[in-house]
Structure formats: structure tokens, C-alpha cells
Copies of this chain bind each other. A is one copy, B any other.
Amino acid sequence: MVAEQSGYGAGTREYDNFPNVLRVMIGESKGPNEAEEKLWMIETNIDDVSPQIIGHVMDRAFELGARDCYFTAVQMKKNRPGVLLSILCDGDQKELMMELLFTETTTLGARSYEVARRALERNIVRVETIYGPIDVKVANLNGRVVNAMPEFDQCRAAAQRANVALKEVEDAARLAFRMSDKL
């Protein structure tokens, strides 16, 4: 019943089936163990393309394998509210991303510079919640857990199934992760 499932009252139920809480390490270590990798930041300032197309470029960039893509509002000449389009990618994707920008937008030039990226070692831990199993991304720094982030898409899907707020599911997953520490 939704009324029971939603709200913090739901928390109580969680502790009843406490012994059943299961924690499974399903993910291998990912990312260079606190090492640095070299990536490229590709940037272009756009003042003559519609935001519709710029949004499309973000979708395409991720489809093509960009590490990240984001926009920054910038103020350009002649009172133009421009957009700084940034793509973070591996060296062997640099040409591909440049071609994406040149083909989909009207830019005549794009900049690039190398950056060093340091990533934390991370594992995936699956925890049980009253909203179903949720994977938690666990990051370690110097052997200590510094982050435990529930997978967004799984939380959103679970929240829609149970018809509760997304933050309910995220909190439940974080709670389950902490609980499972002592099993």
C-alpha cells in the first residue's frame, strides 16, 4: 500500500527483515588504483547554434564514448549569450569528438588541451532494500571507504515502481549499505 510504503514509516519495516539483508560484492575493482590517466579536454564556444542542436550534441558525444560532456553559459561578443561546449575524452577519441563538433554544430574551430585525471578505485556492492536490490558504487582512498553512491538509474526505477520519492530510495540504499557493514 503506497501510504505505508512512502514516508519514513517505511524505515521500520526495513529493520524487521534485518537478518535477511544481503550484501554481495559483485563488482571488480575499476579505474586505475588512484593512479593518473591522461585525457583531453575539447572545448568550443558556440554563438550561432540553437540550444536544441547543442543538447543533441551532448547525446551524440556520450553515444560516441565521451568520458564527459557538459555546457557552460558564457557571455560572448555582440551581446550574445553563448555556450562553452566541453567534452572530456581519451586521446584516441580526440579526432572523433572534433569531427562531431564540426559536423553537428557550426563552429569553425575547437580547442583542446591535455589534463591529468585521478580516479578512485571503486567496487560495486549490491544491497537489499525494501524497494529491491540496489547497486552501490563504493570508492576507496588510501584503503578507506570515502564514498558509497547508490546507482542513480536503479534508484529512479525503484522509486517509480514503489511510487515513492527518489530520495527515499537513495537513503534506503545508503542505510542498507551501512547496516551491511556489521553482518
Contacts and interface: CB of A to CB of B under 8 A. Distances in A.
Interface of A: 3, 6-9, 11-12, 14-15, 31, 39, 41, 43, 45-56, 58-59, 62, 68-84, 86, 88, 98-99, 102-120, 122, 137, 139, 141, 144-149, 152, 156, 165-167, 170-171, 174-175, 177-179, 181-182
Main secondary structure of the interface of A (DSSP, over half): mixed
A150 to B, nearest CB: 10
Total copies of this chain within the assembly: 6
A74 B71 contact: yes
A46 B165 CA distance: 16
A98 B139 CA distance: 14
Contacts of A105: 167
B47 A50 contact: yes
A17 to B, nearest CB: 13
Contact of A73 (B45, B73, B122): B73
A117 B106 contact: no
A75 B84 contact: no
Contacts of A49: 50, 167
